[in-house]
Amino acid sequence: MSTFGSDGSLPEDKVLQAPCLTPIAQLMSDRMVDIYIGDERKKFRLHRDLLCERSEFFKASFEGHFKEAETQELALPEDSVESFELLVGWLYGAPLMKITSEDDWSAYLNLIILAKKLCLKHLQNETMDHVLNFYRTCLPEVSADNIRSMYGNTSAGDPLRRLTISCAAWIAVSNKTTVFDRDVLDLLEGGGEIAVDFTSWLAKLYTYPVDPRIYLNCFYHEHISTPSCIEWYE
């Protein structure tokens, strides 16, 4: 929590202003690109101008010096079709819907990872808000596979890591247990960032047993550009 100043503000280098977005209708040219998702290579034909205006990743891919700029094709084999479909809907103006199941939850976690990779921080934060709302009503069991996946697809200090590991530690503290499943013990015994972060959160929560889900959404955001953050800081 040291990110926040004594007056509740964020350092200037942490503040990202909301972008001025070109209306979608103005980006519907006849220039199209093909994106292939997952091992099954599901094809999505999308408007290039829209992708490049919204995402620096797509702009670099289709307007830069990579082969994708010549072929106007891009393969993302490591990403899921479900999360990419959510991304496409959002790009074309569809709102993200409330999470109502653990399948939705899993897709939204993958969407956060995808949004970060594609340099779509506003989508990343918006999706995080939906995940937080789901956690606050129905905290799902955070498995070793969940933790491993979140750490394998993010870097140190990432908000998704913070949320995942703090909730895993909170489940242990609130259940008043020091006995963990074998797969969780394997993670801890393996050392590294996961073990350090998990034990750090355990120590915090045993000392100050505060449910990490009650923190303001901004604690799990990359910046303060989303409406809830702006209202809070104003």
The pTM (predicted TM-score) of the whole model is 0.83
Q: Is 12 exposed, middle or buried (0-12, 13-18, 19+ CB in 10 A)?
A: exposed
Give me the pLDDT at residue 231, please: 57
Asked if 71 contacts 34 with a C-beta cutoff of 8 angstroms, the reply is: no
Give me the pLDDT at residue 114, please: 96
pLDDT beneath 50: ranges in the chain: 1-18, 232-234
- What does the angle CA 51 – CA 56 – CA 57 come to, to the nearest 5 degrees? 80
Give me the pLDDT at residue 17, please: 46
Domains and CATH numbers, the chain: 12-18+32-233 (3.30.710.10)
Give me the pLDDT at residue 1, please: 39
The Cα–Cα gap between 167 and 175 comes to: 12
Q: Is 7 exposed, middle or buried (0-12, 13-18, 19+ CB in 10 A)?
A: exposed
Give me the pLDDT at residue 228, please: 56
